[in-house]
Every structure is written in C-alpha cells, then in structure tokens.
Amino acid sequence: MNSSNKKPHNINITKKDAWQIVLQAKNQLSHRKKQKTYTIKYITNKHNLMCTFSIIKRRLVKKNFSCEEHIESMINMYLRLIFADSTPYFIGHLAQSLDGFIATKTGESKYISSKENLEHVHMLRCISDVIIVGSKTVQKDDPKLTARLVKGNNPMRLILDKKNELDNKYNVFSNKDGLGFKIISSKIKNNNDHVFSLPLQKGYFKFNDLKNLLHKLNKKIIFVEGGGSLLSRFFDSGFLNQLQICMCPIILGSGKNSFLIKVHKNIPELNYRQVKYHRMGPDILCDITF
C-alpha cells in the first residue's frame, strides 16, 4: 500500500506513465497561479490518470492509480522541483565514487554512475528551463546537454564563457534546436543574439547578476550540471536550493574531488532542511534541500 492511498487502485502505472504525469505537470504549471495543491491529469490509451500534489506536504496526497514505491518516489522527486516556490530555483547534481571523486586524475568520468542515474540526469534536463555549465566542461567533454534519452523537450543551454573562447563548433551550440547560449564578460564587444554580457568581479560573474538575468528571461528551474568547480562555487555562495549527489559503488583511490569549498569548522552547524534517498540501479541518490 502506497503512502498516499488508503486503498489500492485497479489502475497500475509504469515508470513510462509516471514520466508522462511529470511532463504534464510541467506543461500545466505555465498556465496556473501559485496554489497550495496542484491536480495533474493525464489521459492514456486506456485510462484517465489523476493525482494531486500538496505544496505543504511536498508529496502526492491523492491519486486514482497505484504504482511501485520507487515510481511514486520518482514522481514526488520531480514534482517537488516543478512546484518549488523559489524563482529562479537552482539545483545541482554530481556523481561521485565512494571515496569522493568525480573523475580520475586524467579526467575520465564516463561512466561513474549507472544508466539509471544517467537517465535521471536527462529527466532533470527535460524539466529544467536552463542548464548551466562552465566553459572548461564544454572544452574538455564537448557534451550535447540534451534530453535525448527521455521523451520531452531540450532546455536552454547557458555556458559561462567569460573570455569568449568557445566557437560554434561545440555540440552545445551546433544542435539544430538553437538553444545554445553563453555569457561573456561585459568588457568584450558582442552583437550575437545568443550571447549575454555580464560584468566580472575578481574574475567571476556575480551570482546575483546571473540570477537577475534568469529572472528577466522568465526561467524558473536552473540545473547547474558542472563542472565540479562551478558547482562548488554555487554551493559555497549559498545559491543552490537543492543538491543531488549520486553515490556510486566504486573506489577510484585518487582523482578529481567532488567539491572544492571552504573548510567548515563546526560540524553541528551543517544542518540541511531535508534529505531524501533514491535508488538509481546500483547507485544511491542523496537528495538535499537547503
């Protein structure tokens, strides 16, 4: 029996159906004002699915279907993100070994995490409005940053390229969807519609300026995907609303650390508002809300 039901229902949904419910929630949100509860309706070939998500309880409180516990957990995880109050809402994700490394010393990181977590990353991309990565990640890995592994739309890709070093040959810009953008220093002249300019402070963009830009662009869910140093700066600056760390059952022994942050001296002060755990195949996803 699932937590949001008193009695099981005859309609049993699959992970595929659950993802369609999540996508429907994302589509419906753009047409609604802020509410205490949101009702999501999705019509399949056989059934009319309906569920209600509570902002206060941060989970489904009513539904006309049943599903396995991990599927309902998945629905709740994405709906918490979609219906988050803060705008813009920053979420970060990284996959690391048990001993705290995201890559080997040579930079090899494919594939530390499981195919289940990789699919999860593509789902995060799909429900996000913007993906943010640093220029070094693009130069080194040349990622596509699309949601190609799942059904749904690609988000805007925003690359922090303060020196304007990246050209259009990289996958993030050459994709036919035309959703590749970058931010460069305001000291560099620019006439490109796909380039934004912001001032630098001590060699970095100010997060408040970035937040204001995203607010002007009417972007809500911002997925900070990498690399490790960029994610660490977001974390240290207190701009992350949520952080997901995928713990993978491997030990690298050495390599690139997950975080490069200031030293915290008082452990009891490191309290987080909420932590949830999700199975991702052989991996465990630690989902932290600040």
Q: How far apart are CA 264 and CA 269, in angstroms?
A: 9
Q: What is the 3-state secondary structure (H, E, C) of the chain?
A: CCCCCCCCCCCECCHHHHHHHHHHHHHHHCCCCCCCEEEEEEECCCCEEEEEEECCCCEEEEECCECCHHHHHHHHHHHHHHCCCCCCEEEEEEEEECCCEEECCCCCCCCCCCHHHHHHHHHHHHHCCEEEEEHHHHHHHCCCCCCCCCCCCCCEEEEECCCCCCCCCCHHHHCCCCCEEEEEECCCCCCCCCEEEECEECCEECHHHHHHHHHHCCCCEEEEEECHHHHHHHHHCCCCCEEEEEEECCCCCCCEECCCCCCCCCHHHCCCCEEEEEEECCEEEEEEEC
pLDDT digits (tens, 9 = 90+) for 212-249: 999 999 999 999 998 888 999 999 888 999 999 999 99
Which are the contacts of 188, defined by CB distance < 8 A and separation ≥ 6? Answer: 163, 164, 197
DSSP β-bridge partners for residue 197: 184
pLDDT category, 111, cuts 50, 70, 90? confident
Q: Which of 223, 252, 243 is nearest to 285 (CA)?
A: 243
Per-domain residue ranges of the chain: 15-82, 89-289
pLDDT of 68 reads 94
Q: Which of 211, 203, 105 is nearest to 158 (CA)?
A: 211
pLDDT category, 8, cuts 50, 70, 90? very low
31 pLDDT more than 80: no
pLDDT of 264 reads 65
pLDDT of 29 reads 76
pLDDT of 103 reads 82
pTM score of the predicted model: 0.91
| Pairing verdict, β 89-97 and 242-248 | parallel
pLDDT category, 1, cuts 50, 70, 90? very low
8 A C-beta contact, residue 38 and residue 63: no
Look up the CATH number of domain 89-289. Answer: 3.40.430.10
pLDDT digits (tens, 9 = 90+) for 41-100: 999 888 899 999 999 999 999 999 999 999 999 999 999 999 998 889 999 999 999 998
Angle between helices 115-127 and 15-29 in degrees, nearest 10: 20
8 A C-beta contact, residue 243 and residue 91: yes
pLDDT of 9 reads 57
| Pairing verdict, β 256-257 and 101-103 | antiparallel
